[in-house]
Amino acid sequence: MRAVVVYESMFGNTHVVADHIAQGLRPSFDEVAVVPVAEATSELITGAGLLVVGGPTHIHGMSSEKSRMSAKDRADEDDDLDLDPDAEGPGLGDWFDAMPDGSGRSAAAFDTRLEGPPLLTGRAGKGISRRLKRHGYHLVAEPESFLVDKANHLVDGEADRASRWGETLTP
């Protein structure tokens, strides 16, 4: 059985988390693919026994075209920030608009967000999970958040926690 981890990442944190989730999934699946939104074709996700989707939290929820442009502008202005190589591709919102029906297949959602209470930071994972359900997927776990500090680095231990979370995801 194949698992597919789809991610949107602006500064690389969500990409790192996606890679670690995949690491946790590998013992339970014959094949695990980790792909940015631009490479998550209908053919690839339709054949998956488990679809895991994640993205950064922007303005309390999923990214928008405007928030993605703002992140790109921020990277242009800050020498300490580098855009993920796949940041120029489409965002999750556009991808979900063209996504095929999940037909009851298994899925899970995650996000990266600033450290702090979710009420203040927001959680993109909640919107991602709602979109997965709307497309007919069965969620095998509650959406999970992985924390980033104010300097835009994953908080210590979050990558390992992502691997452990991946181990718990079974269809």
Per CATH, the homologous superfamily of domain 2-168 is Flavodoxin domain (3.40.50.360)
For the chain, the average pLDDT equals 93
The arithmetic mean of pLDDT across residues 157-171, rounded, is 96
Six-digit token pair at 11? 């500064």
Given a contact cutoff of 8 angstroms between Cβ atoms, the answer to whether 22 and 49 are in contact is no
pLDDT at 81: 84
Sequence-separated (6 or more) residues with CB below 8 Å from residue 25: 3, 5, 32, 50, 52, 166, 167, 169
Six-digit token pair at 115? 């450290």
Q: Where are the domains of the chain?
A: 2-168
Query: Is 80 exceeded by the pLDDT of residue 121?
Result: yes
Six-digit token pair at 155? 């908080």
Return the SS3 of 138.
strand
Given a contact cutoff of 8 angstroms between Cβ atoms, the answer to whether 157 and 14 are in contact is no
